[in-house]
Each structure stands twice: as structure tokens, then as C-alpha cells.
Amino acid sequence: MIGFLLRRVLAMAATLLAVCALTFAVFYLLPSDPAAQFCGKDCSADRIELVRQQLGLADPLIVQFWHYVTAIFAGRSYGTGPYAVQCDFPCFGYSFQSAQPVWDLMTDRLPTSVSLALGAAVLWLLLGVGAGVLSALRRGSWLDRTLMIGTIGIAALPVYFTAMILLYLVVTVAGILPYPRYIAFGENPGQWVTNLILPWITLALLNAALYARMTRNSVIETMAEPYVRTARAKGLRERRVVGRHGLRPALTPVATMLGMDLGGLLAGALITESLFSLPGIGKLFADSLNKADQPVIMGITLLASFFIISSNLVVDLVYAWIDPRARLS
């Protein structure tokens, strides 16, 4: 088990390094010039060249990459003399446009994205898995048909449409909820919830529909397994047959999917955050793309890879914990 974990963590580090190199190469090829951005608008070519020297942008790509990677663990400074900019550990680059280390920009926004992702995940799990299990156990019933038709409809709605309709009905017409803005949980838990409800619903609906359909199929498939028949042949109560023998294996693939989806979302829900103007990583990413703020884009790309890769690891560990067959290999 320890060996398995060690191997996985090493593989994870290698993957992250590869992602790092790849994004670095991609941004190096982009026609944007960090030196010009640092220097400001009316900057002479000579001055830009000087800045380029000072920032180390004239170094060979491999040297720049080395500086970038080592800075993550040791921090670095950009430039020398009175204009030098310090970027402390963990340094994921420096945004000259906002005059802040990328790490600070990201950690400022992270709680918003994590709040949004986790809340939405809880919501879509409850709705999706609940509806899926009900549908599967009452297969062919009126309830099943209604739920499954409903999920097709919901899955077909674009996120921006759902968001607009929700905002119009709940905020503008009914006035039940305020227009969402981010309030930290620590600041006011009640307002944290009321402000995030609409973004949660927006983000959760699509996933709830997809999870409901997937859960239904998985439960139907599992309930037809010979081991479920054996559980009935043993004389177990139907509740136990379903709950212990049926649902556990049926929900394993759902856990896998949740890991992937959540991993992706932790590093920002780009559309939902933008629609509700929530200051999360997704919004930061969208803004940085507009401004071509390369260090930030790169930092977020790395952060997203980190979340996705580590959630994969968590999924594998959970899988091994649930299914003993996965423990051996």
C-alpha cells in the first residue's frame, strides 16, 4: 500500500512537471511579450530590451524553465536594483499587470471556487444519485419516465440560459435572494449560503441530470448481477439487498466520475463564475485570458492539473478501499 502510494505520488510529480514544461513551451511560442507588459505603455525598444535582460527573458528557454520550476520551491526575484520584484515561496510566477505574485492572486480566489464547487457537488450528488437510484428501483414506472425525460430536458439547457432564467425569476421577479456576490464562509455562514445558492443550482443542474442517468444505468446493471440474486437467495431483507449488495458496487463508478468532475471544478468554474461575477479562479482565468496575462494563465493551468491529477489519485485510493479486487494489482 505504501509502495503503491509512493509510486503514485512520484508519477503525479512527473505528470505535473510534464504539464509545466508543456504550458511553458506553449506560452513561450505565444506572440505576447512580458517585458513590454512590465515596462508599461510608452516604453522605448531599448528600455524593453533592458527589462528583458533583467527579467531573464533573454535566457535560453531551458534556463528560464529551470528558474520557473526552482522558484516554485525556493522563490525568486525578478530584476535587480530598485525595481526588483520579490516573489516568495511558493512562486508560480509574477503578474506584472496586476503587480502581484500569481500565487497570491490564486489563493485569494481559491475559497470562492472551492465553495462553489463543493456546494454544487453536494447538491448534484443528492439530486442526481437520489433520482437515479429511485428511477432504477422503480424502473418503467411513471416516476422513472418523468425523471428520465426531465433529465434530458435539463441536460439540454446551456449553463448561461439556466443562470439567466434563475437570476430573472428568483432575484428580479420574486426577489427572494440577493444578486449573488461572494461572502466568505468565516465572515457570515448564512450569507455565504444565500449568495451561493443560485450559482450552486446553476452548476449542479447539468451534472445532476448526467449523474441521475448514469446512476440509474449503473444501479439497473448491478441489480441484475448474480451476487444480488445470491443476496436474495440468502433470505436477506430487500432493503439490505439493495443497500449493501446493490448500491455499493453501483455507486463505485459514480464516485470515480465525481472525483474527475470535482477535480476539474476546484480550479474554477469558468462560465458559472463569470455569469455571476464571482471572484473565483475561473473568473480570474477568463480575465487573464482577455488581458493575455501569461503568468496567471500558466499558474492556473498548473493548479488545475494539480487538482485533476490529485483527485484521480484520491479516486484510485477510494476505489481500492471500496473494491478489494482493486487492491492487489
Partner 1 sequence: MTSHPLLDVHDLAVEFTTEEGTVRAVKGVDFTVERGRTLGIVGESGSGKSVTSLAVMGLHRGATVTGSARLDGTELIGAPDEHLRKLRGRRMAMVFQDALTALHPYFTVGDQIAEAYREHFGGSRRAALARAVDVLGDVGIPGPARRAGEYPHQFSGGMRQRAMIALALSCEPDLVIADEPTTALDVTVQAQVLELLMRLQQERGLGIVMITHDLGVIARVADDVLVMYGGSAVEQAPADTLFTTPRHPYTRGLLDSLPRLDAEDGAELRSIPGSPPSLLAPPAGCAFHPRCALHAAKPDARCTGDRPPLRTVADGHRSACVLDEVTA
Of the pair 181, 229, the CB lying nearest partner 1 is at: 229
For residues 129 and 96, give the distance between their C-alpha atoms in angstroms, rounded to a whole number: 45
Say whether residue 318 binds partner 1 (CB under 8 A).
no
Say whether residue 239 binds partner 1 (CB under 8 A).
no
For residues 117 and 265, give the distance between their C-alpha atoms in angstroms, rounded to a whole number: 6
Stretch that binds partner 1, among 15-23, 120-128, 187-195, 222-230 (CB under 8 A): 222-230
Stretch that binds partner 1, among 45-53, 54-62, 122-130, 219-227 (CB under 8 A): 219-227
* Sole binder of partner 1 in the list 233, 243, 260, 277 (CB under 8 A): 233
Say whether residue 141 binds partner 1 (CB under 8 A).
no
Phi-psi bin for 130: left (phi > 0), alpha (psi -120 to 50), beta? alpha
Q: Which of 299, 322, 260, 317 is nearest to 105 (CA)?
A: 299
Residues in the chain: 329
Looking at 75-157, list the stretches that DSSP marks H as alpha helix, in order from N- to C-terminal side: 102-137, 142-156
Say whether residue 245 binds partner 1 (CB under 8 A).
yes
159 close to 271: Cβ distance less than 8 angstroms: yes
* Sole binder of partner 1 in the list 60, 81, 175, 324 (CB under 8 A): 324
Q: Which of 300, 303, 306, 305 is nearest to 287 (CA)?
A: 300
Say whether residue 229 binds partner 1 (CB under 8 A).
yes
Say whether residue 254 binds partner 1 (CB under 8 A).
no
Of the pair 48, 231, the CB lying nearest partner 1 is at: 231
Say whether residue 235 binds partner 1 (CB under 8 A).
yes
Q: Which of positions 170-209 make contact with partner 1 (CB under 8 A)?
A: none
Largest CA distance in the chain: 86
Residue 172 in grid coordinates:
428580479
Query: What is the DSSP code (8-state) at residue 178?
Result: P
* Sole binder of partner 1 in the list 101, 119, 249, 299 (CB under 8 A): 249
Stretch that binds partner 1, among 98-106, 211-219, 254-262, 318-326 (CB under 8 A): 318-326
Say whether residue 231 binds partner 1 (CB under 8 A).
yes
For residues 311 and 259, give the distance between their C-alpha atoms in angstroms, rounded to a whole number: 5
User: Which residues contact partner 1 by CB under 8 A?
Assistant: 225-227, 229-238, 240, 245, 248-249, 322-325
